[in-house]
Amino acid sequence: MKKLSLAFGALALVGTVHAGMYTFTPTPADLYDLDHHNAVAWGVTNTAALQSQLTDGFRISGATLTINNIWDWKKEDDMLFINLLDDPKSGVRVYSDNTADNVISNYFDTTAGGAKWQGSTPLTTWTDPNGGDNGANKINFVYNFGQADLTVLTKYLTDPTYSNKVAFGLGFDADCHYYNTGISLVIHTEKIPTSVPDSGSTAGLLAAGLAACAYLRRRVTSLWS
């Protein structure tokens, strides 16, 4: 009896995915406790490595903004506006806003600060559900960027940067006084895959495998007949 051997297979090439993580914090970390008389722009520095990755086959896969132990000084109508800024000045800068304590509006959505940065996109807002400080009212606010946010962030990081400014930043307009113990932004990147498995190829391989099995069955049957 002849011995039969059959080998078949397929190779699907997929680009190796490498992840990166970048953590940014302002100085001071609490942005002066987000006083309701001010709006604060944080021009994020030290982004060169991140920008280099984004022009070398990488993309942003996620970003998270965290404000630790935040609370409004009392129970009241309040709102914290947070914006993405394009090409702000570097570091933390404070602008006078809402000195009458009776207006809830987004400083970074008005023409008041228009000359200080090239673009401003609303990111999110937050309201203290409790108000006042009895220990338990302190909240860790966490905002995970949506896909639209990541698209804007990528644009700001990769478009031309104006002289004496940084690629992007965050704007905080506190219409109330928000105490906190520190703010951070974490950005994750990943390598863009160079190729992915094709569903049509997979179907073709399955058909080829079934045909090979049928051929093998016929050959074995003929040898024993």
The tens digit of pLDDT for each residue in 176-193 reads 999 999 999 999 999 999
pLDDT value of residue 104 = 87
pLDDT value of residue 2 = 42
Q: How far apart are the first and last CA of the chain?
A: 12
pLDDT value of residue 216 = 47
Note if the bond before 88 is cis, omega within 30 degrees: no
Residues in the chain with pLDDT < 50? Answer: 1-16, 205-206, 215-216, 220-221, 223-224
Task: Say which residues have a Cβ less than 8 Å from residue 81's Cβ, sequence separation at least 6.
Answer: 106, 107, 108, 109, 122, 125, 171, 172, 173, 174, 175
Q: Please tell me the distance from the alpha carbon of residue 52 to that of residue 90, in angstroms, as a whole number.
A: 19
pLDDT value of residue 115 = 66
pLDDT value of residue 109 = 85
pLDDT value of residue 114 = 62
Beta partners for 96? 38
Rg (C-alpha) for the chain, rounded Å, is 28
Burial degree of 156 (CB within 10 A; 0-12, 13-18, 19+): buried
Cβ atoms within 10 A of the Cβ of 89, count?
16
pLDDT value of residue 132 = 78
Q: Please tell me the distance from the alpha carbon of residue 64 to that of residue 23, in angstroms, as a whole number.
A: 10
Closest CA to 90 of 156, 165, 158, 29: 165
Is 106 in contact with 83 (CB distance < 8 Å)? yes
pLDDT value of residue 6 = 36
